[in-house]
Structure 1
Amino acid sequence: MSEKITAELRTEFGKGAARRIRREDKVPAVVYGHGNDTIHLTLPGHETMMAIKHGGANALIELEIEGKTQLALTKQVQIDPVRRLLEHVDLVAVRRGEKVTVDVPVLIVGDAASETLVVTENTTVQVEAEATHIPESFEVDITDAEAGTQFLAGSLTLPSGTTLLTDPETLVVNVTAAQTAEALEAELEEAEAEAGIERDEAEVPEEAADEAPAEGGDEE
């Protein structure tokens, strides 16, 4: 499902112009693809942020540009690390029915067996899908998975019309035995030894005198 956004053609460029756009709660953006010239746009900030949140990593946006409609996929999104506001959006033009190559996030669900460690070896897999039917994510159910269980890209469930481009033998999620405290301590000591770090041994306090000094003064 595409999100509809009314965009404005942008004629001012540079850092100063970008700051002015952001002060108006708008976002500078570009659209490229299909051999066309790059289109520089200004997008409404809130609507664009919501479209990206709803659509995920490959949000499909229906741009309304001076009476014309252009479908586009988000390609790169820059967000201010402090204020968490959009700073710039790169979009790639697409057509309905067109096949596109995208990276789709992998989502882990469930809990593995006790005393295991779950490692995500690849956070995304690459697929080819229709521009208007891109999966938002692929789920990997690790419920009660024992140590030694591996989930490969080829085991993912893909919707009809979607083709896996990542090597099917690519390891996506690996369930291993959790490391014991003893093994972790041994590994730490080995790493310290390789780095030439010597641990300080606790100082042993000197033994107290066998007998305390006699109380009282000497006899007359």
Structure 2
Amino acid sequence: MSTEKIKAELRTEFGKGAARRIRREHKIPAVVYGHGNEPIHLTLPGHDTMMAIKHGGANALLELDIDGDAQLALTKQVQVDPVRRVLEHVDFVAVKRGEKVTVDVPVVTVGDAAPETLVVTENATVQVEAEATHIPEQFEISVEGAEAGTQFLASQIELPSGTTLLTDAETLVVNVTAAPTAEALEAELEEAEAEAGIEKDEPEAASDEAAEDGDSE
């Protein structure tokens, strides 16, 4: 895992008004927790921080330059504006080189399973313990040619040296099932509608026949 270097400024103003002013300057309020120290409140450059976190993934590791002192910081929580999709606030945990940390690492599937199958990711992440500077960005599971009924457990994930699996080894991560037929989908839809109390209108032909029977009487 690469470490992005970011110039940080100590923050002395707090509250919603101060945060808005910071964001208007295209900067981001942030806090660094950990190692028994008081939280460090910072202001970070918006674009550089956004790119560093985007590049580093879910567990981006940044080297923050705080008044000339370098501090390794592991991204723990990111708040994003739901409309503008820009960073609003970031929480970090202070870490040291060689220190082991517990993180959730994303799982992705690669390859194509056998025809007429459906690949279902049952758990999108697995928890591991790894050195702070060697956190895997993601784990890949190859489903190439996998037939329906094939299952991939957490224990089958290949872990890099120095990384320990914390998720239960028997946890189902990826499940390859038979793709549902059109008939099965229709039946499932009808069952869901029945449970929801949705009544379908009678087919027009059937309604006409009923009307004609009534007239003949």
TM tier, shorter chain?
Answer: over 0.9
SS at match of 1:36: coil
In the alignment, the residues of structure 2 paired with residue 198 and residue 84 of structure 1 have an alpha-carbon distance, to the nearest angstrom, of 41
Shift of 1:5: 0.7
User: For 2:49, what is the secondary structure of its paired residue?
Assistant: helix
By percentage of residues, which structure has more helix?
2
Partner of 1:121: 122
Deviation at 1:188, TM superposition (A): 1.9
CA RMSD, aligned part only?
A: 1.1
CA distance in 1, matches of 2:161, 2:147: 30
Which stretches in structure 2 are left out of the alignment for 5+ residues? 213-217
Aligned to 2:29: 28
Q: TM-score, normalised by structure 2?
A: 0.92
Q: Which residue matches 1:160?
A: 161
Q: Which has the larger radius of gyration?
A: 1
Report the counterpart of residue 13 of structure 2 in structure 1: 12
Residue identity over aligned pairs, in percent, reads 82
1:169 aligns with 2:170: yes
- d(CA) in 2 for partners of 1:43, 1:117: 43
Q: How much does 1:164 deviate?
A: 0.3
Tell me the amino acid that sits aligned with residue 203 of structure 1.
Answer: E
The answer to whether the aligner puts 1:44 opposite 2:45 as a matched pair is yes
**Which residue is 1:67 aligned to?**
68
Q: CA deviation at 1:138?
A: 0.2
Query: What is the TM-score normalised by the length of structure 1?
Result: 0.91
- Secondary structure class of the residue paired with 2:133: coil
**Partner Cα separation in structure 2 for residue 54 and residue 184 of structure 1:** 39
The superposition leaves residues 148-177 of structure 1 with CA deviations (integer Å, 9 ceiling, x where unpaired) of: 000110000000000000001000010000
Matched, 1:140 2:176: no
Moved more, 63-72 or 183-192: 183-192
**When the two structures are aligned, how many residues end up with a matched partner?**
207
> Aligned partners of 2:80, 2:195: CA distance in 1, in Å?
40
- Counterpart Cα distance in 2 of 1:154 and 1:24: 47
Q: By how many angstroms is 1:11 displaced?
A: 0.4
- Please report how far the alpha carbon of residue 194 of structure 1 lies from its aligned counterpart in structure 2 after TM superposition: 2.9
CA distance in 2, matches of 1:193, 1:41: 55
1:57: which partner in 2?
Answer: 58
